[in-house]
A and B are shown apart, each in its own frame.
Chain A
Amino acid sequence: MATPTLVRGARATQSTITLKIAMAVSGILFILFVLAHMYGNLKVFSGEEAFNSYAEHLRTIGAPIFPRTGVLWILRVGLIASLIVHVACAVTLARRAGRARPVQYQVKRNVNSAFSSRTMRWGGATILMFLIWHLLNFTIVKINPTGGETENPYRLLVDNFGVWWMTIIYLVAMAALALHLHHGTWSSLQTLGLTNSPLARQRAKLAGWVVAVVVAGGFSLVPLSVLVGITK
């Protein structure tokens, strides 16, 4: 039951909007990360050497001021923190939304919302599962489904996508990511209060399309190119 009394001594930081702002900020960090990551992956097309040296470079950024993988770890810690925040807020908000409508409609039509906006929670969960698999796949355990080499990033990658079901897992994940970004990009701008006019809103929605297509499309090029045999 709703509380029929007035809240006293409210704090801005304790509001649902604050949770949303945290999601938006972490989400935007993710966007920056995936953009960079996607760009890095495209090095595959420059050949094995270029790609591997890029992978090595990642670990030596900031050297010699920082130890090897130092900066990478700073980034990792940032991403892990963001992930925790992002997921925790997502779970809190989802549960709150569930409680806000205890009795469902017999008939409910959604007329003005993008499919992506209504599937953020499913999409998020899909991405989370993908991410776990992906890290096992490429970083933590380094699983080469062909049983081949694991220490050569380029080979690991090409071998990986040589397996059809791996490619499918990745492509499905990219679809989920595209949806998540399509709504997430505009949504984060709205959450941050940057869409105060119809024009700004239109632009933010356009940005959602661009980011979704560029990121998911860019990522997908790699498995697709392996699949069709351009990259060996």
Chain B
Amino acid sequence: MIGTMNLTLKIWRQPHAEAQGGMREYQVSGISEDMSFLEMLDILNEQLQEQGEEPVAFDHDCREGICGSCSLMINGQAHGPEVTTSCQLHMRSFKDGDTITIEPWRSEAFPVVKDLVVNRSAFDRIIQSGGYISANTGSAPEANSVPAPREKAMRAFNVATCIGCGACVAACPNGSASLFLGAKITHLGELPQGQPERYERIVDMVAQHDAEGFGGCTNIGECAAACPKGIPLDVISQLNKDLRTAIKAGR
């Protein structure tokens, strides 16, 4: 452990969905660089608790970068300056005396619930609208009866790692969820099991995406840079391609 840091935090506080929110400024001191960003917020919250001020609400659960709960806009970047989740961001990315601005994801489709917590159920509904393979329990054939070419299986895996955090939406200047959508479309579309519903799936999922109020993608590319799982932009190309094929098929 090298020295410790003193920081100024500017945090969005909003008591509930309908309330007016605003930025508040706090000071924290004695922050070690081995702490995670959320542990730094824990310290702030203990401090607030002592002062009788309500702790800052933020979503988190696994703190391992896999559940996708944490969702902080840190100094204007989704999940902060490193390519990782807010919970896996460590304080060694900051230095003594820094001012850090922390905001919730901003999107029409992700309304603020409280402070830094937003409602991302729009993602669940996008999945409901077709982000699955219809295979009732018990109906499955022997697993090795359908080989999946390794290349395709690898691509499917690489994009299936999406954790549904919503950083792509938060970072996109258009508030588009195309990267999330493309990741799911590509995951299921690359596998032999995903073929029967392939075009129905895309039409329904894109329609739900649009209905939720996400913006359209104009291929800006901030999403992929913010994605903690490194989902590449080509999933959006795949998405577009599949939709084009669906149009041709008259869906």
Contact = CB atoms under 8 A, between A and B. Distances in A.
A219 interface: no
A147 interface: no
B167 interface: no
Interface in B108-147: 108-109, 111, 121-122, 125, 128-129
Contacts of A101: 106-108, 174-175, 215
A206 to B, nearest CB: 15
B219 interface: yes
Contact of B240 (A112, A183, A192): A192
A186 B219 CA distance: 9
A96 interface: yes
A140 B103 CA distance: 52
B203 A11 contact: yes
Contact of A21 (B73, B203, B234, B240): B240
Given A16-B206, A191-B240, A93 B108 contact: no
Contact of B23 (A10, A19, A106, A191): A106
A2 B247 contact: no
Interface string B198-239: 010011101111111111111111101100000011101111
A105 B112 CA distance: 13
Q: Which of A7, A183, A198 has the most CB atoms of chain B within a 10 A radius of its CB?
A: A7
Contacts of B12: 106
Contacts of B242: 193
A4 B125 contact: yes
Nearest to A120: B218
Interface residues of B, number: 61
Contacts of B221: 112-114, 117
A90 B226 CA distance: 25
B199 to A, nearest CB: 8
A190 B233 contact: yes
B236 to A, nearest CB: 7
B108 A21 contact: no
Given A7-B204, A20-B216, A193-B244, A105 B175 contact: no
Given A12-B246, A16-B206, A100-B174, A2 B212 contact: yes
A193 B241 CA distance: 4
B76 interface: yes
B222 A194 contact: no
A192 B239 CA distance: 10
Q: Which of B206, B240, B241 has the most CB atoms of chain A within a 10 A radius of its CB?
A: B240
A114 B207 CA distance: 28
B101 interface: yes
Contacts of B213: 1-3, 99-100
A186 B122 CA distance: 30
Given A107-B76, A111-B222, A193-B242, A2 B251 contact: no
B176 interface: yes
A41 to B, nearest CB: 29
B10 interface: yes
B219 A190 contact: yes
B204 A111 contact: no
Interface string A1-44: 11110110011111111111100000000000000000000000
Given A7-B129, A13-B247, A196-B237, 8 more contacts: A2-B212, A3-B211, A7-B208, A16-B210, A17-B244, A21-B240, A21-B247, A187-B218
Interface of B: 10, 12, 23, 73, 75-77, 101, 103, 106-109, 111, 121-122, 125, 128-129, 173-176, 199, 202-204, 206-222, 224-225, 232-234, 236-244, 246-247, 251
24 contacts: A2-B109, A7-B129, A7-B204, A10-B204, A12-B203, A12-B246, A12-B251, A14-B207, A16-B209, A20-B218, A21-B244, A93-B218, A97-B173, A101-B108, A106-B12, A107-B75, A109-B75, A112-B221, A112-B225, A114-B221, A193-B239, A194-B241, A196-B238, A201-B232
Which 8 A-B residue pairs are closest in the complex by CB-CB distance?
A193-B241, A100-B175, A112-B225, A10-B207, A100-B215, A16-B216, A109-B76, A107-B76
